[in-house]
């Protein structure tokens, strides 16, 4: 029995175009995310007690799992968790602005929104190979971090607020090797409303 499922995309596959194409979204959501979920389900089938935990608990505690599924939970559990967040962090309502509350919180930590975007973008550009760049809440303070592969900030006790997937599968069809262009395009479809929800939770 499949315990975990890929959540339905909260908008049409083509809704983020021209910044992220329909083809990329179909591959990314239906194939890549699905593969993480399928492999996560295989792992919890091997040790069903792990299938009774929620995905956040799995991300926080996979290190305590039996050796034969530890890496599967880390990679595929992480993939499922990160991508479930990622779809919601994007919106077809393009060029949203952060609300006053969000802006104040970002200004307090980074000076202003442009400096924040610059630093976040630099971090995303520098991720070597496959991984993610994040804005996280860490002990009540906003900060930037990147994670390799499908590692989640949650494993380190930090709460993801905004994250960009910089695996090539996220942008190669649309931007080929031009990760910086993908990052610039991606800002146009950031769901600031959702980000605010995470910030003020």
Q: Which is nearer to Mn ion, 78 or 121 (CB)?
A: 78
Residue 111 CB partners (closer than 8 Å, separation 6+): none
Task: Give the footprint of Mn ion on residues 159-188 (CB under 5 A).
Answer: 165, 167, 170
Nearest approach in angstroms of CB 189 to Mn ion is 15
Task: Give the footprint of Mn ion on residues 46-85 (CB under 5 A).
Answer: none
Helix axes 100-110, 113-126, angle to 10 degrees: 70
Nearest approach in angstroms of CB 13 to Mn ion is 15
Q: Which is nearer to Mn ion, 106 or 162 (CB)?
A: 162
Q: Which is nearer to Mn ion, 75 or 102 (CB)?
A: 75
Q: Which is nearer to Mn ion, 98 or 123 (CB)?
A: 123
Q: Which is nearer to Mn ion, 165 or 196 (CB)?
A: 165
Find the residue with minimal CB distance to Mn ion.
Answer: 165
Nearest approach in angstroms of CB 48 to Mn ion is 27
Nearest approach in angstroms of CB 42 to Mn ion is 19
Which sign does the torsion angle of CA 11, 16, 21, 25 carry? negative
Angle at 168 between CA 162 and CA 171, to 5 degrees: 70
Residue 92 DSSP class: S
d(CA 96, CA 132): 22
Choices 35-43, 58-66, 130-138, 157-165 (CB under 5 A): range interacting with Mn ion: 157-165
Closest to 30 in 3D by CA, of 59, 62, 7: 7
d(CA 167, CA 13): 19
Residues that bind Mn ion (CB under 5 A): 165, 167, 170
């Amino acid at each position: 029995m499949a315990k975990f499922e890929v959540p339905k995309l909260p908008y049409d596959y083509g809704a983020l175009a021209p910044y992220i194409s329909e083809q990329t979204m179909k591959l990314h959501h239906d194939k890549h995310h699905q593969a993480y979920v399928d492999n996560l389900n295989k792992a919890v089938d091997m040790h069903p007690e792990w299938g009774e935990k929620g995905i956040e608990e799995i991300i926080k505690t996979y290190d305590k799992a039996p050796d034969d599924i530890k890496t599967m939970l880390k990679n595929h559990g992480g993939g499922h968790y990160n991508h479930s967040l990622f779809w919601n962090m994007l919106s077809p309502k393009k060029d949203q602005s952060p609300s006053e509350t969000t802006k104040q919180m970002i200004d307090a930590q980074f000076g202003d929104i442009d400096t924040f975007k610059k630093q976040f973008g630099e971090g995303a550009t520098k991720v070597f190979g496959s991984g993610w760049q994040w804005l996280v809440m860490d002990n009540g303070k906003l900060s930037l971090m990147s994670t390799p592969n499908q590692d989640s900030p949650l494993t380190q006790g930090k709460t993801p607020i905004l994250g960009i997937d910089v695996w090539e599968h996220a942008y190669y069809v649309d931007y080929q090797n031009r990760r910086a262009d993908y990052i610039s395009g991606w800002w146009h479809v950031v769901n600031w409303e959702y980000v605010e929800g995470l910030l003020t939770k």
